[in-house]
Amino acid sequence: MKIITWNCRMKYREKADEILTLQPDIVVVPECENKERLKFGMSTKKPCDSLWFGENVNKGIGIFSYSNFKFKLHSSYNKNFKYFIPIEVYSKKNTFNLLIVWNNPGNKDSNYIRQATNALKFYVPKLDNKRLIIIGDFNSNNFWDKPQGEFKHNDLVSYLEKDFKIFSLYHKYYKEDQGNESIPTSYWNNKPYHVDYCFASSDFSKNAESVEIGDYKRWRKFSDHMPMIININD
């Protein structure tokens, strides 16, 4: 199973061909236009199933199946956590939960890691933590943690690991610590940051075959975010 998350910075309809060269089963797209605007080219492979959530027709979050997976909104959905969307993913042979993320508080008074912490503490206990993947653009790294801050990236990672055995696949695969990532996922204002993540429960994390970050030279013309490509033997 190959899952990709890629903040394409809008106009996914014009960029889908490039991501489809990677032959994904599922693609999670923060900053994606709504379904009415997704007019794919004649030669572009069409998704087998998709869901979209957002308030701005040009900029929400979408999830696309290019395999036999189907999607259903999980009953725990809470609209107060904008762009943290719980999805039931199912096929004839496989079922799991997917929490897709575009951490975008949306106003100057909000705090990225506060929103992520509150959203995950609400959702994770309600989802099957034995078969759960949390993936997307978190806009967060412990680089921004403040010593006296109430909410910290490291505390959220620790909560997932210690309470639910949910691990960041990038850090597990590359054996790197949070905040010491050797491969950036974003180049906002031409500066490197690691802000996109895939967290997965132990059933998935122990079967992760590879974790790749798209090459900057190839992907920079499409977005300042690089795709994160997760291969799981499931």
The whole-number pLDDT of residue 192 equals 96
Check residue 127 and report its DSSP letter.
Answer: S
| Residue 141 burial (10 A CB sphere; 0-12, 13-18, 19+) | buried
Ordered by start, the domain boundaries in the chain are 2-232
Q: What is the pLDDT of residue 149?
A: 84
Domain 2-232 part of CATH 3.60.10.10? yes
Give the total residue count for the chain: 234
Residue 164's nearest CA partner among 129, 123, 135, 133 is: 129
* Predicted pLDDT at 109: 54
- pLDDT at 77 (0 to 100): 97
In this structure, are residues 185 and 169 in contact, taking their beta carbons and an 8 Å threshold? no
- In this prediction, the residues of the chain whose per-residue pLDDT falls under 70 are 107-110
User: Which amino acid is it at 45?
Assistant: K
Q: Dihedral sign for Cα 110, 158, 90, 211, please.
A: positive
Tell me the two tokens of residue 3: 């899952």
Q: CA 104, CA 138: separation in Å to the nearest integer?
A: 8
What pLDDT score was predicted for residue 14?
Answer: 95
Neighbours of 14 (CB within 10 A): 15
